[in-house]
Chain A
Amino acid sequence: MAQPTSPPAEPAVADEAAPGRTDGSDAAGLGRLRAALFVTPALLIIGVFLVFPALWTLYLGVTDYRLTGIAAARPSFVGFANYVRALTDPLFHNALWLTLLFVFGSAIIGQTVLGFGLAWTLRSAPRWVRGTVESLVLLAWILPGVVVAFLWIALLDSDRGTLNALLGTAGHAWLVDNPMTVLIVFNTWRGTAFSMMLFAAALAALPPSQLETARLAGASGWQTVRDVVLPHLRRHLLTNTLLISLWTFNDFTPYLITAGNPDHRSEVLPVYIYLTAIPGGQLGFGSAISLLMLVINLALAFFYLRLLRERRS
Protein backbone atom coordinates (compact mmCIF):
# COMPACT_ATOMS: atom_id res chain seq x y z
CA MET A 1 0.00 0.00 0.00
CA ALA A 2 2.61 2.54 1.01
CA GLN A 3 4.53 3.99 -1.86
CA PRO A 4 7.62 6.12 -1.61
CA THR A 5 6.73 9.76 -1.94
CA SER A 6 8.81 10.55 -4.94
CA PRO A 7 7.65 12.05 -8.19
CA PRO A 8 6.02 9.04 -9.78
CA ALA A 9 6.28 8.60 -13.49
CA GLU A 10 2.81 7.15 -13.80
CA PRO A 11 -0.19 8.32 -11.87
CA ALA A 12 -0.83 6.04 -8.92
CA VAL A 13 -4.54 6.10 -9.52
CA ALA A 14 -5.16 2.42 -8.91
CA ASP A 15 -5.31 3.13 -5.21
CA GLU A 16 -8.16 5.58 -5.49
CA ALA A 17 -11.59 4.17 -5.88
CA ALA A 18 -12.66 7.20 -7.89
CA PRO A 19 -9.54 9.08 -8.95
CA GLY A 20 -9.92 12.76 -9.45
CA ARG A 21 -13.48 12.64 -8.26
CA THR A 22 -12.89 12.41 -4.56
CA ASP A 23 -15.28 14.63 -2.74
CA GLY A 24 -13.95 17.56 -0.79
CA SER A 25 -15.30 16.10 2.43
CA ASP A 26 -13.63 12.73 1.86
CA ALA A 27 -10.72 13.65 4.07
CA ALA A 28 -8.96 10.30 4.07
CA GLY A 29 -9.49 9.68 0.36
CA LEU A 30 -11.62 6.63 1.03
CA GLY A 31 -13.51 6.73 -2.25
CA ARG A 32 -17.01 5.47 -2.85
CA LEU A 33 -16.13 1.83 -3.35
CA ARG A 34 -14.32 1.49 -0.04
CA ALA A 35 -17.03 3.51 1.68
CA ALA A 36 -19.61 1.07 0.37
CA LEU A 37 -17.51 -1.83 1.63
CA PHE A 38 -17.28 -0.23 5.07
CA VAL A 39 -21.02 0.18 5.34
CA THR A 40 -21.90 -3.29 4.09
CA PRO A 41 -21.28 -5.52 7.17
CA ALA A 42 -23.34 -3.32 9.46
CA LEU A 43 -26.15 -2.99 6.95
CA LEU A 44 -26.16 -6.73 6.33
CA ILE A 45 -26.59 -7.52 10.03
CA ILE A 46 -29.23 -4.82 10.46
CA GLY A 47 -30.99 -6.05 7.35
CA VAL A 48 -31.16 -9.70 8.38
CA PHE A 49 -31.72 -9.39 12.12
CA LEU A 50 -33.74 -6.20 12.39
CA VAL A 51 -35.39 -5.15 9.14
CA PHE A 52 -36.31 -8.61 7.92
CA PRO A 53 -38.02 -9.66 11.17
CA ALA A 54 -39.95 -6.41 11.23
CA LEU A 55 -41.17 -6.91 7.68
CA TRP A 56 -41.80 -10.59 8.25
CA THR A 57 -44.41 -9.77 10.88
CA LEU A 58 -46.50 -8.43 7.99
CA TYR A 59 -46.60 -11.92 6.52
CA LEU A 60 -46.73 -13.88 9.75
CA GLY A 61 -49.64 -11.81 11.00
CA VAL A 62 -51.91 -13.09 8.22
CA THR A 63 -51.07 -16.77 8.80
CA ASP A 64 -52.00 -19.31 11.45
CA TYR A 65 -48.32 -20.07 12.16
CA ARG A 66 -47.94 -22.28 15.22
CA LEU A 67 -44.97 -23.77 16.96
CA THR A 68 -46.30 -27.30 16.93
CA GLY A 69 -48.86 -29.31 15.02
CA ILE A 70 -49.96 -29.11 11.40
CA ALA A 71 -49.86 -25.32 11.23
CA ALA A 72 -46.17 -25.47 12.15
CA ALA A 73 -45.29 -27.55 9.11
CA ARG A 74 -47.64 -25.87 6.66
CA PRO A 75 -48.98 -22.56 7.88
CA SER A 76 -51.97 -21.38 5.90
CA PHE A 77 -53.18 -17.94 4.96
CA VAL A 78 -55.94 -16.74 7.23
CA GLY A 79 -56.34 -13.16 6.02
CA PHE A 80 -57.25 -10.69 8.71
CA ALA A 81 -58.58 -13.34 11.05
CA ASN A 82 -55.80 -12.69 13.58
CA TYR A 83 -56.54 -8.97 13.61
CA VAL A 84 -60.28 -9.55 13.93
CA ARG A 85 -59.56 -11.91 16.79
CA ALA A 86 -57.23 -9.43 18.46
CA LEU A 87 -59.72 -6.62 18.25
CA THR A 88 -62.43 -8.78 19.80
CA ASP A 89 -60.24 -10.56 22.36
CA PRO A 90 -61.00 -9.28 25.86
CA LEU A 91 -57.48 -10.24 26.96
CA PHE A 92 -56.02 -8.00 24.24
CA HIS A 93 -58.30 -5.16 25.34
CA ASN A 94 -57.15 -5.79 28.88
CA ALA A 95 -53.47 -5.72 27.87
CA LEU A 96 -53.91 -2.57 25.82
CA TRP A 97 -55.67 -0.81 28.68
CA LEU A 98 -53.06 -1.88 31.23
CA THR A 99 -50.28 -0.72 28.87
CA LEU A 100 -51.93 2.67 28.52
CA LEU A 101 -52.14 2.92 32.31
CA PHE A 102 -48.51 1.84 32.58
CA VAL A 103 -47.23 4.39 30.04
CA PHE A 104 -49.40 7.21 31.28
CA GLY A 105 -48.80 6.59 34.97
CA SER A 106 -45.13 5.73 35.05
CA ALA A 107 -43.68 7.55 32.06
CA ILE A 108 -45.77 10.58 31.28
CA ILE A 109 -46.67 11.37 34.89
CA GLY A 110 -44.14 9.58 37.10
CA GLN A 111 -40.81 9.88 35.33
CA THR A 112 -41.45 13.28 33.76
CA VAL A 113 -42.70 14.99 36.91
CA LEU A 114 -40.16 13.41 39.23
CA GLY A 115 -37.35 13.89 36.71
CA PHE A 116 -38.13 17.56 36.25
CA GLY A 117 -38.63 18.08 39.94
CA LEU A 118 -35.25 16.54 40.71
CA ALA A 119 -33.46 18.45 37.96
CA TRP A 120 -34.98 21.71 39.17
CA THR A 121 -34.43 21.29 42.91
CA LEU A 122 -30.97 19.71 42.68
CA ARG A 123 -29.79 22.59 40.50
CA SER A 124 -29.31 24.77 43.55
CA ALA A 125 -28.64 22.03 46.11
CA PRO A 126 -25.20 21.59 47.72
CA ARG A 127 -22.80 19.50 45.71
CA TRP A 128 -22.83 16.45 47.95
CA VAL A 129 -26.64 16.35 48.11
CA ARG A 130 -26.83 16.58 44.38
CA GLY A 131 -24.13 13.96 43.87
CA THR A 132 -25.76 11.50 46.27
CA VAL A 133 -29.29 11.81 44.92
CA GLU A 134 -28.13 11.67 41.31
CA SER A 135 -26.06 8.56 41.97
CA LEU A 136 -29.01 6.78 43.56
CA VAL A 137 -31.33 7.71 40.69
CA LEU A 138 -28.72 6.62 38.15
CA LEU A 139 -28.08 3.37 39.95
CA ALA A 140 -31.75 2.45 39.67
CA TRP A 141 -31.41 3.07 35.94
CA ILE A 142 -28.23 1.20 35.14
CA LEU A 143 -28.59 -2.01 37.17
CA PRO A 144 -29.62 -5.06 35.14
CA GLY A 145 -33.36 -5.58 34.85
CA VAL A 146 -33.33 -9.04 36.44
CA VAL A 147 -31.58 -7.67 39.51
CA VAL A 148 -33.87 -4.69 40.07
CA ALA A 149 -36.88 -6.91 39.48
CA PHE A 150 -35.78 -9.18 42.30
CA LEU A 151 -34.95 -6.19 44.52
CA TRP A 152 -38.58 -5.12 44.16
CA ILE A 153 -39.90 -8.63 44.74
CA ALA A 154 -37.91 -8.68 47.98
CA LEU A 155 -39.02 -5.17 48.91
CA LEU A 156 -42.68 -6.04 48.42
CA ASP A 157 -42.68 -9.50 49.95
CA SER A 158 -45.82 -9.93 52.01
CA ASP A 159 -44.26 -11.63 55.02
CA ARG A 160 -40.80 -10.18 55.47
CA GLY A 161 -40.59 -7.40 52.89
CA THR A 162 -39.03 -4.07 53.87
CA LEU A 163 -42.00 -2.03 52.66
CA ASN A 164 -44.46 -3.77 54.94
CA ALA A 165 -42.01 -3.39 57.81
CA LEU A 166 -41.72 0.35 57.16
CA LEU A 167 -45.45 0.94 56.71
CA GLY A 168 -46.51 -1.48 59.43
CA THR A 169 -48.71 -3.33 56.96
CA ALA A 170 -47.39 -6.80 57.65
CA GLY A 171 -48.95 -9.44 55.46
CA HIS A 172 -50.11 -7.09 52.71
CA ALA A 173 -49.44 -8.81 49.37
CA TRP A 174 -48.69 -5.84 47.14
CA LEU A 175 -47.91 -7.96 44.09
CA VAL A 176 -51.28 -9.70 44.36
CA ASP A 177 -53.51 -6.90 45.53
CA ASN A 178 -52.03 -3.91 43.63
CA PRO A 179 -50.00 -5.32 40.76
CA MET A 180 -50.43 -2.40 38.31
CA THR A 181 -49.75 0.21 40.98
CA VAL A 182 -46.58 -1.66 41.83
CA LEU A 183 -45.49 -1.74 38.20
CA ILE A 184 -46.16 1.96 37.75
CA VAL A 185 -44.25 2.95 40.88
CA PHE A 186 -41.48 0.52 39.96
CA ASN A 187 -41.07 1.94 36.46
CA THR A 188 -41.06 5.48 37.80
CA TRP A 189 -38.24 4.45 40.11
CA ARG A 190 -36.44 2.63 37.34
CA GLY A 191 -36.58 5.26 34.59
CA THR A 192 -36.57 8.70 36.21
CA ALA A 193 -32.82 9.06 35.60
CA PHE A 194 -33.27 9.71 31.89
CA SER A 195 -35.73 12.56 32.37
CA MET A 196 -33.68 13.98 35.21
CA MET A 197 -30.52 14.11 33.11
CA LEU A 198 -32.27 15.44 30.04
CA PHE A 199 -33.91 18.24 32.02
CA ALA A 200 -30.73 18.97 33.96
CA ALA A 201 -28.87 19.41 30.67
CA ALA A 202 -31.64 21.61 29.33
CA LEU A 203 -31.71 23.71 32.49
CA ALA A 204 -27.95 24.14 32.37
CA ALA A 205 -28.40 25.58 28.88
CA LEU A 206 -30.99 28.10 30.09
CA PRO A 207 -29.43 31.58 30.03
CA PRO A 208 -28.99 32.67 33.67
CA SER A 209 -29.84 36.21 32.64
CA GLN A 210 -33.43 35.10 31.97
CA LEU A 211 -33.79 33.65 35.46
CA GLU A 212 -32.22 36.75 36.96
CA THR A 213 -34.56 38.98 35.01
CA ALA A 214 -37.50 37.06 36.46
CA ARG A 215 -36.06 37.38 39.96
CA LEU A 216 -35.47 41.09 39.57
CA ALA A 217 -39.06 41.43 38.44
CA GLY A 218 -40.04 39.80 41.73
CA ALA A 219 -41.39 36.52 40.34
CA SER A 220 -41.88 33.68 42.81
CA GLY A 221 -40.31 30.26 42.25
CA TRP A 222 -43.46 28.87 40.71
CA GLN A 223 -43.94 31.93 38.49
CA THR A 224 -40.37 31.64 37.28
CA VAL A 225 -40.89 28.01 36.35
CA ARG A 226 -44.15 28.78 34.58
CA ASP A 227 -43.09 31.91 32.72
CA VAL A 228 -39.42 31.34 31.98
CA VAL A 229 -38.38 27.73 32.44
CA LEU A 230 -41.25 25.74 30.96
CA PRO A 231 -41.46 27.73 27.71
CA HIS A 232 -37.72 27.19 27.30
CA LEU A 233 -38.07 23.47 27.96
CA ARG A 234 -41.10 22.83 25.76
CA ARG A 235 -39.07 21.05 23.10
CA HIS A 236 -37.18 18.96 25.63
CA LEU A 237 -40.41 18.11 27.37
CA LEU A 238 -41.85 16.77 24.14
CA THR A 239 -38.69 14.83 23.24
CA ASN A 240 -38.59 13.33 26.70
CA THR A 241 -42.25 12.38 26.72
CA LEU A 242 -42.06 10.68 23.33
CA LEU A 243 -38.89 8.73 24.07
CA ILE A 244 -39.86 7.46 27.49
CA SER A 245 -43.37 6.62 26.27
CA LEU A 246 -41.85 4.54 23.48
CA TRP A 247 -39.53 2.73 25.86
CA THR A 248 -42.12 2.15 28.55
CA PHE A 249 -44.59 0.91 25.96
CA ASN A 250 -42.04 -1.73 24.87
CA ASP A 251 -40.67 -2.58 28.30
CA PHE A 252 -40.47 -6.27 29.12
CA THR A 253 -39.37 -5.86 32.76
CA PRO A 254 -42.94 -6.25 34.11
CA TYR A 255 -42.64 -9.90 33.13
CA LEU A 256 -39.76 -10.30 35.56
CA ILE A 257 -41.77 -8.94 38.48
CA THR A 258 -45.33 -10.14 38.03
CA ALA A 259 -45.27 -12.13 34.76
CA GLY A 260 -48.80 -10.84 34.12
CA ASN A 261 -50.14 -12.28 37.35
CA PRO A 262 -52.41 -12.47 39.10
CA ASP A 263 -55.12 -13.40 36.62
CA HIS A 264 -53.87 -11.14 33.76
CA ARG A 265 -54.14 -8.13 36.06
CA SER A 266 -50.63 -6.89 35.21
CA GLU A 267 -50.42 -8.33 31.71
CA VAL A 268 -49.15 -5.41 29.64
CA LEU A 269 -48.77 -5.86 25.86
CA PRO A 270 -45.16 -7.10 25.79
CA VAL A 271 -45.99 -9.75 28.37
CA TYR A 272 -49.20 -10.62 26.54
CA ILE A 273 -47.33 -11.11 23.24
CA TYR A 274 -44.69 -13.26 24.88
CA LEU A 275 -47.19 -15.48 26.69
CA THR A 276 -49.40 -15.86 23.63
CA ALA A 277 -46.70 -16.46 21.05
CA ILE A 278 -43.91 -18.34 22.73
CA PRO A 279 -45.18 -20.48 25.59
CA GLY A 280 -48.64 -20.34 23.92
CA GLY A 281 -47.22 -21.28 20.53
CA GLN A 282 -49.57 -18.99 18.57
CA LEU A 283 -46.93 -17.29 16.44
CA GLY A 284 -49.28 -15.96 13.76
CA PHE A 285 -51.56 -14.32 16.29
CA GLY A 286 -48.59 -13.00 18.26
CA SER A 287 -47.19 -11.48 15.08
CA ALA A 288 -50.42 -9.67 14.37
CA ILE A 289 -50.25 -8.04 17.79
CA SER A 290 -46.54 -7.29 17.32
CA LEU A 291 -47.44 -5.46 14.14
CA LEU A 292 -50.03 -3.40 15.96
CA MET A 293 -47.33 -2.44 18.46
CA LEU A 294 -44.93 -1.67 15.65
CA VAL A 295 -47.44 0.71 14.10
CA ILE A 296 -47.87 2.52 17.41
CA ASN A 297 -44.08 2.71 17.78
CA LEU A 298 -43.82 4.05 14.26
CA ALA A 299 -46.35 6.78 14.96
CA LEU A 300 -44.47 7.86 18.09
CA ALA A 301 -41.11 7.74 16.30
CA PHE A 302 -42.29 9.72 13.30
CA PHE A 303 -43.58 12.36 15.61
CA TYR A 304 -40.23 12.44 17.37
CA LEU A 305 -38.19 12.56 14.17
CA ARG A 306 -40.26 15.40 12.78
CA LEU A 307 -39.48 17.24 15.95
CA LEU A 308 -35.76 16.61 15.58
CA ARG A 309 -35.82 17.81 11.99
CA GLU A 310 -37.58 21.01 12.88
CA ARG A 311 -34.93 21.65 15.47
CA ARG A 312 -32.10 21.07 13.02
CA SER A 313 -33.49 23.36 10.36
Chain B
Amino acid sequence: MMPPVFTPAAFVRRIGFYVLVGLVAAFFAIPLLWLLTAPFDTTPAYGVQVPDFTLGNFRTLLANEQAMISLGESVILALGSMAVTVGGAALAAYALSRVAVPGRGALLYLLLLLSSVVTGTTAMVPIFLLMFEAGLIDSRAGVVLVMTGGLLPAAIFILKDFMDATPRSYEESARVFGARPLQILWHVVVPITRPGLATIAVWATVQVWGNFLVPFILFTDPAKQPAAVIMHTFYTEGGQPKLALISAFSLLYSAPVVAMYVFVSRRYGFRFHGGIKR
Protein backbone atom coordinates (compact mmCIF):
# COMPACT_ATOMS: atom_id res chain seq x y z
CA MET B 1 0.00 0.00 0.00
CA MET B 2 1.23 3.45 -0.86
CA PRO B 3 1.22 6.14 1.80
CA PRO B 4 -1.38 8.85 1.17
CA VAL B 5 0.11 11.75 -0.74
CA PHE B 6 -1.73 15.07 -0.83
CA THR B 7 -0.78 16.42 -4.20
CA PRO B 8 -2.93 19.24 -5.61
CA ALA B 9 -4.31 16.81 -8.20
CA ALA B 10 -5.38 14.40 -5.50
CA PHE B 11 -7.01 17.27 -3.63
CA VAL B 12 -9.01 18.28 -6.68
CA ARG B 13 -10.02 14.68 -7.26
CA ARG B 14 -11.19 14.46 -3.68
CA ILE B 15 -13.30 17.62 -4.01
CA GLY B 16 -14.71 16.33 -7.27
CA PHE B 17 -15.59 13.06 -5.61
CA TYR B 18 -17.56 14.78 -2.86
CA VAL B 19 -19.33 17.11 -5.29
CA LEU B 20 -20.39 14.07 -7.31
CA VAL B 21 -21.55 12.12 -4.27
CA GLY B 22 -23.35 15.23 -3.04
CA LEU B 23 -25.19 15.66 -6.34
CA VAL B 24 -26.30 12.02 -6.37
CA ALA B 25 -27.42 12.28 -2.76
CA ALA B 26 -29.40 15.41 -3.65
CA PHE B 27 -31.03 13.62 -6.59
CA PHE B 28 -32.30 10.94 -4.23
CA ALA B 29 -33.10 13.27 -1.34
CA ILE B 30 -34.98 16.12 -3.00
CA PRO B 31 -38.12 14.20 -4.00
CA LEU B 32 -38.24 12.73 -0.48
CA LEU B 33 -37.99 16.07 1.32
CA TRP B 34 -41.65 16.92 0.79
CA LEU B 35 -42.60 13.88 2.88
CA LEU B 36 -40.66 15.36 5.80
CA THR B 37 -41.84 18.97 5.55
CA ALA B 38 -45.38 19.10 4.18
CA PRO B 39 -47.07 16.92 6.83
CA PHE B 40 -45.96 19.39 9.52
CA ASP B 41 -46.80 22.58 7.64
CA THR B 42 -49.88 24.69 8.40
CA THR B 43 -50.17 25.54 4.73
CA PRO B 44 -48.58 22.68 2.79
CA ALA B 45 -47.95 23.39 -0.89
CA TYR B 46 -46.49 21.35 -3.76
CA GLY B 47 -43.08 22.88 -3.21
CA VAL B 48 -40.77 22.04 -0.36
CA GLN B 49 -40.70 24.87 2.18
CA VAL B 50 -39.60 25.29 5.76
CA PRO B 51 -42.72 24.20 7.64
CA ASP B 52 -44.70 26.48 9.89
CA PHE B 53 -44.87 23.68 12.41
CA THR B 54 -48.20 22.09 13.27
CA LEU B 55 -49.66 18.68 13.97
CA GLY B 56 -53.01 19.85 12.65
CA ASN B 57 -52.64 17.86 9.42
CA PHE B 58 -52.63 14.67 11.44
CA ARG B 59 -55.77 15.77 13.25
CA THR B 60 -57.35 16.34 9.84
CA LEU B 61 -56.23 12.86 8.83
CA LEU B 62 -57.57 11.22 12.00
CA ALA B 63 -60.89 12.96 11.45
CA ASN B 64 -61.10 11.68 7.87
CA GLU B 65 -63.15 8.53 8.14
CA GLN B 66 -62.37 7.30 4.64
CA ALA B 67 -58.62 7.50 5.17
CA MET B 68 -58.73 5.79 8.53
CA ILE B 69 -60.97 2.99 7.30
CA SER B 70 -58.69 2.45 4.32
CA LEU B 71 -55.70 2.06 6.64
CA GLY B 72 -57.65 -0.57 8.55
CA GLU B 73 -58.42 -2.34 5.29
CA SER B 74 -54.73 -2.25 4.39
CA VAL B 75 -53.90 -3.86 7.73
CA ILE B 76 -56.44 -6.63 7.18
CA LEU B 77 -55.25 -7.35 3.64
CA ALA B 78 -51.57 -7.20 4.52
CA LEU B 79 -51.75 -9.35 7.63
CA GLY B 80 -54.15 -11.80 6.02
CA SER B 81 -51.96 -12.30 2.96
CA MET B 82 -48.87 -12.44 5.16
CA ALA B 83 -50.36 -15.21 7.31
CA VAL B 84 -51.47 -17.33 4.37
CA THR B 85 -48.18 -16.76 2.53
CA VAL B 86 -45.94 -17.59 5.48
CA GLY B 87 -48.02 -20.61 6.49
CA GLY B 88 -48.33 -22.03 3.01
CA ALA B 89 -44.75 -21.28 2.01
CA ALA B 90 -43.24 -22.63 5.23
CA LEU B 91 -45.03 -25.96 4.96
CA ALA B 92 -44.27 -26.34 1.28
CA ALA B 93 -40.65 -25.22 1.57
CA TYR B 94 -40.02 -27.57 4.46
CA ALA B 95 -41.48 -30.57 2.67
CA LEU B 96 -39.58 -29.70 -0.51
CA SER B 97 -36.35 -29.18 1.39
CA ARG B 98 -36.48 -32.41 3.37
CA VAL B 99 -38.37 -34.98 1.35
CA ALA B 100 -37.42 -36.10 -2.13
CA VAL B 101 -40.89 -35.60 -3.62
CA PRO B 102 -40.85 -36.87 -7.21
CA GLY B 103 -40.41 -34.00 -9.62
CA ARG B 104 -39.13 -31.67 -6.93
CA GLY B 105 -36.49 -30.13 -9.12
CA ALA B 106 -38.89 -29.44 -11.96
CA LEU B 107 -41.47 -28.01 -9.58
CA LEU B 108 -39.02 -25.56 -8.07
CA TYR B 109 -37.83 -24.54 -11.50
CA LEU B 110 -41.41 -23.94 -12.55
CA LEU B 111 -42.11 -21.94 -9.40
CA LEU B 112 -39.16 -19.69 -10.01
CA LEU B 113 -40.23 -19.20 -13.60
CA LEU B 114 -43.80 -18.40 -12.58
CA SER B 115 -42.84 -15.95 -9.90
CA SER B 116 -40.92 -13.86 -12.39
CA VAL B 117 -43.12 -14.24 -15.47
CA VAL B 118 -46.71 -13.98 -14.29
CA THR B 119 -46.73 -10.45 -12.99
CA GLY B 120 -49.66 -8.39 -11.84
CA THR B 121 -49.61 -6.58 -15.16
CA THR B 122 -49.76 -9.64 -17.37
CA ALA B 123 -52.36 -11.36 -15.18
CA MET B 124 -54.62 -8.42 -14.40
CA VAL B 125 -57.10 -9.10 -17.17
CA PRO B 126 -57.69 -12.83 -16.48
CA ILE B 127 -57.59 -12.27 -12.71
CA PHE B 128 -60.13 -9.50 -12.97
CA LEU B 129 -62.35 -11.73 -15.09
CA LEU B 130 -61.84 -14.74 -12.82
CA MET B 131 -62.85 -12.78 -9.74
CA PHE B 132 -65.69 -11.17 -11.66
CA GLU B 133 -67.06 -14.54 -12.75
CA ALA B 134 -66.56 -16.02 -9.28
CA GLY B 135 -68.39 -13.12 -7.65
CA LEU B 136 -65.27 -12.17 -5.70
CA ILE B 137 -65.13 -8.51 -6.70
CA ASP B 138 -65.13 -6.46 -3.46
CA SER B 139 -64.12 -9.56 -1.49
CA ARG B 140 -61.26 -9.20 0.97
CA ALA B 141 -60.63 -12.94 0.93
CA GLY B 142 -60.44 -12.82 -2.85
CA VAL B 143 -57.78 -10.10 -2.80
CA VAL B 144 -55.85 -11.98 -0.10
CA LEU B 145 -55.84 -15.12 -2.22
CA VAL B 146 -54.77 -13.28 -5.38
CA MET B 147 -51.95 -11.52 -3.52
CA THR B 148 -50.89 -14.78 -1.86
CA GLY B 149 -50.84 -16.59 -5.19
CA GLY B 150 -48.40 -14.03 -6.50
CA LEU B 151 -46.18 -14.05 -3.41
CA LEU B 152 -46.03 -17.79 -2.73
CA PRO B 153 -43.59 -18.94 -5.45
CA ALA B 154 -40.84 -16.54 -4.42
CA ALA B 155 -41.58 -17.15 -0.72
CA ILE B 156 -41.29 -20.91 -1.15
CA PHE B 157 -38.10 -20.54 -3.12
CA ILE B 158 -36.41 -18.28 -0.60
CA LEU B 159 -37.57 -20.30 2.41
CA LYS B 160 -36.43 -23.54 0.83
CA ASP B 161 -32.98 -22.06 0.36
CA PHE B 162 -33.07 -21.04 3.98
CA MET B 163 -34.16 -24.47 5.18
CA ASP B 164 -31.63 -26.24 2.98
CA ALA B 165 -28.96 -24.29 4.83
CA THR B 166 -30.24 -25.43 8.23
CA PRO B 167 -28.41 -28.54 9.50
CA ARG B 168 -30.54 -31.64 9.50
CA SER B 169 -28.94 -32.87 12.70
CA TYR B 170 -31.32 -30.71 14.78
CA GLU B 171 -34.33 -32.56 13.46
CA GLU B 172 -32.57 -35.91 13.52
CA SER B 173 -31.59 -35.35 17.10
CA ALA B 174 -35.17 -34.58 18.12
CA ARG B 175 -36.33 -37.56 16.12
CA VAL B 176 -33.99 -39.98 17.86
CA PHE B 177 -35.37 -38.71 21.17
CA GLY B 178 -38.79 -39.77 19.99
CA ALA B 179 -40.34 -36.52 18.74
CA ARG B 180 -42.99 -37.00 16.06
CA PRO B 181 -42.82 -35.05 12.77
CA LEU B 182 -45.27 -32.36 13.83
CA GLN B 183 -43.56 -31.98 17.21
CA ILE B 184 -40.22 -31.62 15.43
CA LEU B 185 -41.73 -28.96 13.22
CA TRP B 186 -43.11 -27.00 16.13
CA HIS B 187 -40.29 -27.52 18.67
CA VAL B 188 -37.30 -27.29 16.39
CA VAL B 189 -37.87 -26.24 12.79
CA VAL B 190 -40.05 -23.19 13.36
CA PRO B 191 -37.83 -21.64 16.07
CA ILE B 192 -34.64 -22.33 14.15
CA THR B 193 -35.93 -20.93 10.87
CA ARG B 194 -37.53 -17.95 12.57
CA PRO B 195 -35.24 -15.37 10.93
CA GLY B 196 -36.25 -16.71 7.51
CA LEU B 197 -39.92 -16.79 8.44
CA ALA B 198 -39.74 -13.26 9.82
CA THR B 199 -38.02 -12.00 6.68
CA ILE B 200 -40.72 -13.54 4.50
CA ALA B 201 -43.45 -12.23 6.78
CA VAL B 202 -42.15 -8.67 6.57
CA TRP B 203 -41.55 -8.97 2.86
CA ALA B 204 -45.10 -10.22 2.22
CA THR B 205 -46.62 -7.56 4.45
CA VAL B 206 -44.70 -4.78 2.70
CA GLN B 207 -45.64 -6.12 -0.73
CA VAL B 208 -49.35 -6.19 0.02
CA TRP B 209 -49.30 -2.93 1.96
CA GLY B 210 -47.80 -1.09 -1.00
CA ASN B 211 -49.63 -2.89 -3.80
CA PHE B 212 -51.91 -0.68 -5.82
CA LEU B 213 -52.93 -2.57 -8.94
CA VAL B 214 -54.67 -5.61 -7.43
CA PRO B 215 -56.98 -3.79 -4.99
CA PHE B 216 -57.46 -1.06 -7.61
CA ILE B 217 -59.03 -3.48 -10.07
CA LEU B 218 -60.70 -5.84 -7.57
CA PHE B 219 -62.42 -3.35 -5.24
CA THR B 220 -65.13 -1.11 -6.61
CA ASP B 221 -66.61 -0.30 -3.21
CA PRO B 222 -64.67 2.69 -1.77
CA ALA B 223 -65.49 1.50 1.75
CA LYS B 224 -63.33 -1.58 1.18
CA GLN B 225 -60.47 0.00 -0.72
CA PRO B 226 -57.13 -0.03 1.10
CA ALA B 227 -54.94 3.01 1.69
CA ALA B 228 -53.03 2.64 -1.59
CA VAL B 229 -56.22 3.09 -3.60
CA ILE B 230 -57.77 5.77 -1.39
CA MET B 231 -54.55 7.77 -1.46
CA HIS B 232 -54.65 7.65 -5.25
CA THR B 233 -58.29 8.74 -5.16
CA PHE B 234 -57.36 11.69 -2.96
CA TYR B 235 -54.89 13.13 -5.40
CA THR B 236 -56.72 12.35 -8.61
CA GLU B 237 -60.24 13.38 -7.65
CA GLY B 238 -61.42 16.69 -9.02
CA GLY B 239 -60.85 20.05 -7.40
CA GLN B 240 -57.90 21.35 -5.44
CA PRO B 241 -55.97 18.39 -3.87
CA LYS B 242 -56.23 18.48 -0.07
CA LEU B 243 -52.50 18.66 0.57
CA ALA B 244 -52.88 18.77 4.35
CA LEU B 245 -54.67 15.44 4.25
CA ILE B 246 -52.51 13.86 1.54
CA SER B 247 -49.21 14.78 3.17
CA ALA B 248 -50.11 13.44 6.61
CA PHE B 249 -51.68 10.36 5.02
CA SER B 250 -48.54 9.69 2.95
CA LEU B 251 -46.32 9.84 6.00
CA LEU B 252 -48.53 7.65 8.17
CA TYR B 253 -49.00 5.15 5.36
CA SER B 254 -45.25 4.99 4.64
CA ALA B 255 -44.06 4.78 8.22
CA PRO B 256 -44.84 1.06 8.81
CA VAL B 257 -42.91 0.07 5.69
CA VAL B 258 -39.80 1.92 6.78
CA ALA B 259 -40.16 0.60 10.33
CA MET B 260 -40.40 -2.98 9.11
CA TYR B 261 -37.33 -2.66 6.90
CA VAL B 262 -35.37 -1.20 9.77
CA PHE B 263 -36.60 -3.98 12.04
CA VAL B 264 -35.57 -6.77 9.70
CA SER B 265 -32.16 -5.34 8.91
CA ARG B 266 -31.43 -4.60 12.59
CA ARG B 267 -32.71 -7.88 13.92
CA TYR B 268 -31.66 -10.36 11.31
CA GLY B 269 -29.13 -8.48 9.23
CA PHE B 270 -30.01 -7.50 5.73
CA ARG B 271 -30.06 -10.65 3.70
CA PHE B 272 -29.74 -9.94 0.05
CA HIS B 273 -32.13 -12.22 -1.77
CA GLY B 274 -32.23 -11.50 -5.46
CA GLY B 275 -35.58 -9.94 -6.13
CA ILE B 276 -36.98 -9.97 -2.63
CA LYS B 277 -38.58 -6.64 -3.46
CA ARG B 278 -41.18 -8.04 -5.81
Contacts and interface: CB of A to CB of B under 8 A. Distances in A.
A–B in direct contact per CB < 8 Å: yes
Contacts of A150: 231, 235, 246, 250
Contacts of A11: none
Contact of A38 (B28, B34, B92, B100): B92
B126 A53 contact: yes
Contact of A29 (B1, B112, B181, B213): B181
20 contacts: A2-B178, A3-B178, A27-B98, A42-B152, A52-B130, A136-B32, A146-B228, A151-B32, A155-B30, A155-B31, A157-B47, A162-B33, A163-B30, A189-B28, A273-B124, A274-B217, A287-B126, A297-B117, A297-B118, A301-B113
Nearest to B20: A121
Given A153-B235, A159-B46, A247-B278, 20 more contacts: A2-B183, A25-B98, A28-B175, A28-B184, A36-B101, A50-B150, A60-B126, A133-B25, A143-B32, A144-B212, A145-B228, A146-B210, A155-B34, A161-B46, A201-B272, A256-B232, A273-B125, A293-B122, A294-B118, A297-B117
B153 A273 contact: no
A53 B183 contact: no
Contacts of B257: 142-144
Interface of A: 1-3, 5, 15, 23, 25-32, 34-36, 38-39, 41-43, 45-46, 48-54, 56-57, 60, 65, 67, 114, 117-118, 121-122, 125, 129, 132-133, 136-155, 157, 159-163, 165-166, 189, 192, 194, 197-198, 201, 212, 239, 243, 246-247, 250-252, 256, 259, 269-270, 273-274, 277-278, 283, 286-287, 290-291, 293-294, 297-298, 300-302, 304-305
B162 interface: no
B113 A28 contact: no
A287 B124 CA distance: 9
B124 A274 contact: yes
Nearest to A221: B13
How big is chain B's contact interface, by range?
A: 35 or more
A49 B144 CA distance: 10
Nearest to B256: A144
Query: What DSSP secondary structure best describes chain B's contact surface?
Result: helix
Interface of B: 1, 17, 20-21, 24-25, 27-35, 38, 45-48, 84, 87-89, 91-92, 94-96, 98-101, 109, 111-114, 116-130, 132, 145-146, 148-150, 152-153, 156, 168-172, 174-175, 177-185, 189, 206, 209-210, 212-213, 217, 227-228, 231-232, 235-236, 246, 250, 253-254, 257-258, 261, 272, 274-275, 277-278
